[in-house]
A and B are shown apart, each in its own frame.
Chain A
Amino acid sequence: MGEAAPLTPAPAVRVQGFGKRYRRQAAVAGVDLEVRRGEIYGLIGPDGAGKSSLMKAVAGVLAFEEGSIEMFGIRIDSEAAAERVKGRLGFMPQGLGLNLYPELSVEENIDFFARLRGVPAAEIAARKAKLLAMTRLDRFTGRPMKHLSGGMKQKLGLVCTLIHEPELIVLDEPTTGVDPVSRRDFWAILAELLRENGITALISTAYMDEAERFHRLSLMHGGRVLASGEPDAIRARTPGSVVELEAEPQVEALDRIQASLAQAESVGPRLRVFVDDAEPEAAVGTVAGLLKGLSLRDLHATTPDLEDAFVALLRRQRLVEERAVAKPRAGDGDPPGDDVAILAKDLTRDFDGFRAVDRASFTVHQGDIFGLVGANGAGKTTLIKMLTGILPPSDGEGRVAGADMHFAAQAIKARIGYTSQAFSLYQDLSVLENLRLYARIYGVARHAAGERIEQVAELTGLTGRERQLAGRLPLGIRQRLALACALVHRPRILFLDEPTSGVDPIGRRRFWDILVHLARVEQVAILITTHYMSEAEHCDRLALMHAGRIVADDPPAALKQALREEAGELLEVATDRPLAAMALLEQAGFAGVALFGRHIHLFARDAHTATREIQTILAGRGIGLAGVTPRPPSLEDVFVYRITALEQGEQRL
């Protein structure tokens, strides 16, 4: 099959004026969108944006009140109509492997779905073999689904969704909670399916940086579509420029900028500012003007990404709550104390012959934001459990907040703050009751507690919500409450385990604002894990974990520099037939070839030679080349490159 899907009169999906209510609460209202045949269409938005409702309705498993949905020209207005298109449709609901049977093996799961879908017995074997090979699950056919890793579960879910060869697949957040390597793997498989079977896909995601994977997409927020179209077109909806710079002192610089420009944040050592309606030159001038007298470095303009556009759109439509995060000034009386907050030396932990953490060594200083990234099962959780005093190490040494891990686990627990990925506060207690409970658990003196609670509530923007039940708060605010509870006893070290999963970009920015304040002004050491690679950019240092070991530990910029030195330049290739071009470039032996929507990314030692080579290869097949542009590598590129190299090394052994 070719690409550039033939333009047929009936699109794969047409949604008009769609609305869905739960009781009296409108979950989605007034949604219009059209998915053309052969394209990957994205729905991007935070938790609660209405993506799942829309996808379930399209898949025919959710009744809705308003509007109409057409699939392949057939209007889905009754059970019978939904039945008629079901054979042409595959649906994978949200949640890792939730539609699969944990006790059944990989093969049994696939067979079950094949029979459920009435796939002819003669064809099952061939299809299964092909899909298993494509997903590289063929080595694990006998393994029960519950023993698969997150990424493998997701791939098995995809195989089960595809076994009856649907023309349209609807995938609800297939990449949530999956590590970057598995995520990239997943996208590669999708691209291959698209190339070979010409299927159409409607996919939702909470990761803004996955937008580039889609041909077209809709940005959703609060049950409405903010904007639809190609990623570039959506970016064009909010004209403006992004200015990046390093400034000293950073906190003062950010305060000055935020006083007049609404969309500014600090990302690690840099500041990132979105200037509305300004050409790059003018934007740089505006920012420089605001920061007169401060020492500035590396001041330059870049193009806004989709997340910038999303935030700007929300801001323009006045959907952002007023900036509530107040920042108490420094001088809370915290002594700077011992400069080293966490010291890990050859930390090792074994479970019944399995080494979960293998000689991990690193240092975190007061005031540092230290990021820990790695696939599920790489050992992050075990490492954090040792550092927080829950699990004693099998070997090695560690000091946290001046207390030895072997002998003073209880002292460690009393001196640190911890926020977990799942919201782990009492939903049936109010904001104030939660804060009070944790103040007493951590032994904050009664007379000091009231004042301290007020302080953290102000810092985290919870003032005015004290009486609300925690369970009724929106996700982003709940996570700030969790942070507030972790801060109530003035810990010198904060452990944050995927604190922003599913939170919308604005909520995430606000969360990071608080973290940066804590680190820079109050000198709190922060150790954080995340699956959002864009978020990892905020860290001062980033440790990459793989198979229990720390395989890299450097500032983000140094990690990217190392990647350039090892793998070469990252090039973005724009062509009119990306799928065919991708296959050719892979054959030609380019490293890291991956599809991003209509563009191809690859690594090349020398940009000039590579560009000429690409031109020759594509011209030979009559594929039009729009351009080859060098791109700065992202942390995701670093992560994927490093881990893939390690995995290949292991396989060779």
Chain B
Amino acid sequence: MNSRLTLWWSRLAAMTVKELLQLFRDGFLMFAIVFLFTADIYMTRNVRLELNHATVVVHDADHSAASRELIYRFRPPYFQLGGEIQDSREGQALLDQGQALAVLDIPPYFQRDLQSGRPTDVQVLVDTSNTVLGTLAASYSGQIIGRYGFEAALARMGASEASLDTVPMIQDQHRVWYNPNQNDAWFIPISELLTVITVMAIMLPAAAAVREKERGTIEQLLVSPLTPALILLPKVISMTLVILAGTAISLFLVLVPVFGVPIKGSLPLFFAVTTLYTVATSGLGLYIATLSRNLAQAAMLAIFILMPMVFLSGAWTPPEAMPAGLRETMYLSPLYYFIEMGYGILLKGAGLDVLWDSLLGLTLLGVGIFGIGVRRFRRQFG
């Protein structure tokens, strides 16, 4: 019995070493791994999900001190002035061409009406084809104009800004936690890293298994005394090792030094969760490998699985933004749990006491996915 166990381990080790050797000799795959775990994440460095010098063009029909004062308030970092236009149709054209995000239209007699206390309107046209930016631009410009109107009203009543304190009103005192500067520079690269881990966890085992089929090497393994488990486990083990190494490189060479991401929680817990996630997801890769005859087919199938998986994970679209029916299906995306736990551990310092339900979810889902992948693999190659 003992010698059989030794033999089993020796075979497992030999096959794992073989998988790693093959991977290291595949120049293209190695390049893809290094690129995705470093440069790809580094590239998100200056990406912000907020207004950044959005161009505003102005149609000023009043040309008064009041209108200039209002226009002056649309300034960097959120806005920048894109110049003045002569009529509103020109503004429409600039919006159509995408050269301006918003058009500010100030009517004639703006200053007179404002000072005489008559109601007056300004029009803001916003391009919301990009919903996030459009909504932000609408809301920011609304705030700017509202504040300006408020101040103008106060001034007309002879009150100063200081006297505001005497007016009864609710003060909004919100505090932002976990990412106090609302720093997108943390959110985006972490999302990117978790997505890269997902892509690798599906593609690497799928590629390793399909390559055996494509080159006919599987035939030689099937007539050998290896059991199907000894053919597939080494692929999962070796690719998980590679992904863990890539994650470590990404974390310590990119996320922490470049983005200053704080690692608030336990690193061993993070890597343990990553291991669990990678093994679970590799089941999908093995499943794909049984369905495809060559690498191109496997890649197509992987994209087919990855797109909904990433979409339903909350990596780029928060669960709160999903309609009711879709929100429940998010529980089927292993990436959903991984993102919960990834953010939780890295940014919130959360431990198992908080994350146990996500961990349970991922474990159950993982056992299911990996089980299906292994079953199909054994059926095809058993």
Interface residues of A (CB under 8 A from B): 388-390, 410, 413-414, 416, 418, 420, 422-429, 433, 436-438, 440-443, 446, 485, 495
Shortest B297–chain A CB gap in Å is: 15
Shortest A618–chain B CB gap in Å is: 51
Q: How far is the CA of A485 from the CA of B18 in the complex (A)?
A: 15
Q: Contact partner of B215 among A410, A413, A427, CB < 8 A? A: A427
Jot down 17 A-B pairs with beta carbons below 8 A, ordered by A: A410-B225, A413-B224, A413-B225, A414-B225, A418-B223, A424-B215, A426-B217, A427-B215, A428-B22, A429-B25, A437-B14, A437-B15, A440-B13, A440-B14, A441-B15, A441-B221, A443-B10
Contacts A422-B216, A441-B226: A429 and B18 contacting too (C-beta < 8 A)?
yes
Contacts A422-B216, A426-B217, A429-B18: A440 and B10 contacting too (C-beta < 8 A)?
yes
Chain B stretch 180-236: residues in CB contact (< 8 A) with chain A: 215-227
B121 sits at the interface (CB 8 A): no
Q: How far is the CA of A437 from the CA of B221 in the complex (A)?
A: 11
Query: A443 near B11 (CB under 8 angstroms)?
Result: yes
Shortest A401–chain B CB gap in Å is: 12
Shortest A488–chain B CB gap in Å is: 11
Q: Contact partner of B7 among A422, A436, A443, CB < 8 A? A: A443
Which among B22, B216, B224, B227 has the greatest number of chain A C-beta atoms within 10 A?
Answer: B224
Which residues of the other chain, A, contact B26 by a CB distance below 8 angstroms? 428
Which residues of the other chain, B, contact A440 by a CB distance below 8 angstroms? 10-11, 13-14
Which among B215, B223, B225 has the greatest number of chain A C-beta atoms within 10 A?
Answer: B223
Shortest A214–chain B CB gap in Å is: 33
Query: B224 near A438 (CB under 8 angstroms)?
Result: yes
Which residues of the other chain, A, contact B225 by a CB distance below 8 angstroms? 410, 413-414, 441-443
Which residues of the other chain, A, contact B14 by a CB distance below 8 angstroms? 436-437, 440-441
Interface string of B296-327 (1 = CB under 8 A from A): 00000000000000000000000000000000
Q: How far is the CA of A64 from the CA of B216 in the complex (A)?
A: 33
B159 sits at the interface (CB 8 A): no
Q: State which size class the interface on B falls in.
A: 20 to 34
Query: B224 near A422 (CB under 8 angstroms)?
Result: no
Query: A422 near B219 (CB under 8 angstroms)?
Result: yes
Which residues of the other chain, A, contact B22 by a CB distance below 8 angstroms? 426, 428-429
Interface residues of B (CB under 8 A from A): 7, 10-11, 13-15, 18, 21-22, 25-26, 215-227
Query: A388 near B217 (CB under 8 angstroms)?
Result: no
Which residues of the other chain, A, contact B221 by a CB distance below 8 angstroms? 441
Q: How far is the CA of A414 from the CA of B7 in the complex (A)?
A: 12
By beta carbon, the residue of chain A nearest B7 is A443
By beta carbon, the residue of chain B nearest A434 is B18
Contacts A413-B225, A418-B223, A441-B14: A424 and B21 contacting too (C-beta < 8 A)?
no
Query: A426 near B216 (CB under 8 angstroms)?
Result: no
Q: How far is the CA of A388 from the CA of B225 in the complex (A)?
A: 10
Q: How far is the CA of A346 from the CA of B218 in the complex (A)?
A: 29
Query: B223 near A413 (CB under 8 angstroms)?
Result: yes
Considering the complex of A and B, which 4 residue pairs feature the smallest CB-CB distances, nearest first?
A440-B14, A422-B216, A424-B220, A418-B223
Q: How far is the CA of A389 from the CA of B382 in the complex (A)?
A: 11
Which residues of the other chain, A, contact B224 by a CB distance below 8 angstroms? 413, 418, 438, 441-442
Q: How far is the CA of A442 from the CA of B225 in the complex (A)?
A: 7
Chain B residues touching A, majority SS = helix
Shortest B196–chain A CB gap in Å is: 24
Query: A416 near B15 (CB under 8 angstroms)?
Result: no
With A440-B13, A442-B224 known, 19 other A-B pairs at CB within 8 A are A389-B223, A413-B224, A418-B220, A418-B224, A424-B218, A427-B215, A428-B21, A428-B22, A429-B18, A429-B21, A433-B18, A438-B224, A440-B10, A440-B11, A441-B221, A441-B224, A441-B225, A442-B225, A443-B10
Contacts A389-B223, A438-B224: A423 and B21 contacting too (C-beta < 8 A)?
no
Shortest A470–chain B CB gap in Å is: 10
Which among A388, A424, A437 has the greatest number of chain B C-beta atoms within 10 A?
Answer: A424
Which residues of the other chain, B, contact A420 by a CB distance below 8 angstroms? 216, 219-220
Query: B11 near A425 (CB under 8 angstroms)?
Result: no
Which residues of the other chain, B, contact A425 by a CB distance below 8 angstroms? 217, 220
By beta carbon, the residue of chain A nearest B4 is A443
By beta carbon, the residue of chain B nearest A430 is B21
Shortest B220–chain A CB gap in Å is: 4
By beta carbon, the residue of chain B nearest A384 is B223
Q: How far is the CA of A495 from the CA of B222 in the complex (A)?
A: 14
Which residues of the other chain, B, contact A422 by a CB distance below 8 angstroms? 216, 219
Query: B216 near A388 (CB under 8 angstroms)?
Result: no
Q: How far is the CA of A436 from the CA of B11 in the complex (A)?
A: 11
Shortest B65–chain A CB gap in Å is: 75
Query: A433 near B21 (CB under 8 angstroms)?
Result: yes
Q: How far is the CA of A365 from the CA of B227 in the complex (A)?
A: 29
Q: How far is the CA of A299 from the CA of B227 in the complex (A)?
A: 52
Q: How far is the CA of A485 from the CA of B227 in the complex (A)?
A: 19
Shortest B231–chain A CB gap in Å is: 10
Which residues of the other chain, A, contact B21 by a CB distance below 8 angstroms? 428-429, 433
Which residues of the other chain, B, contact A413 by a CB distance below 8 angstroms? 223-225
Query: A424 near B217 (CB under 8 angstroms)?
Result: yes
Which residues of the other chain, A, contact B217 by a CB distance below 8 angstroms? 424-426
Shortest B209–chain A CB gap in Å is: 14
By beta carbon, the residue of chain A nearest B381 is A390
Shortest A95–chain B CB gap in Å is: 16
Q: Contact partner of B216 among A423, A436, A485, CB < 8 A? A: A423
Which residues of the other chain, A, contact B11 by a CB distance below 8 angstroms? 440-441, 443
Q: How far is the CA of A562 from the CA of B86 in the complex (A)?
A: 106
Query: B18 near A426 (CB under 8 angstroms)?
Result: yes
Shortest B207–chain A CB gap in Å is: 13
Q: Contact partner of A437 among B18, B25, B215, B222, CB < 8 A? A: B18
Which residues of the other chain, B, contact A427 by a CB distance below 8 angstroms? 215
Q: How far is the CA of A418 from the CA of B7 in the complex (A)?
A: 21
Which residues of the other chain, A, contact B7 by a CB distance below 8 angstroms? 443
Shortest A102–chain B CB gap in Å is: 13
Q: How far is the CA of A407 from the CA of B220 in the complex (A)?
A: 21
Q: How far is the CA of A413 from the CA of B218 in the complex (A)?
A: 14
Which residues of the other chain, B, contact A436 by a CB distance below 8 angstroms? 14
Q: How far is the CA of A481 from the CA of B18 in the complex (A)?
A: 17
Q: How far is the CA of A500 from the CA of B160 in the complex (A)?
A: 98
Shortest A483–chain B CB gap in Å is: 12
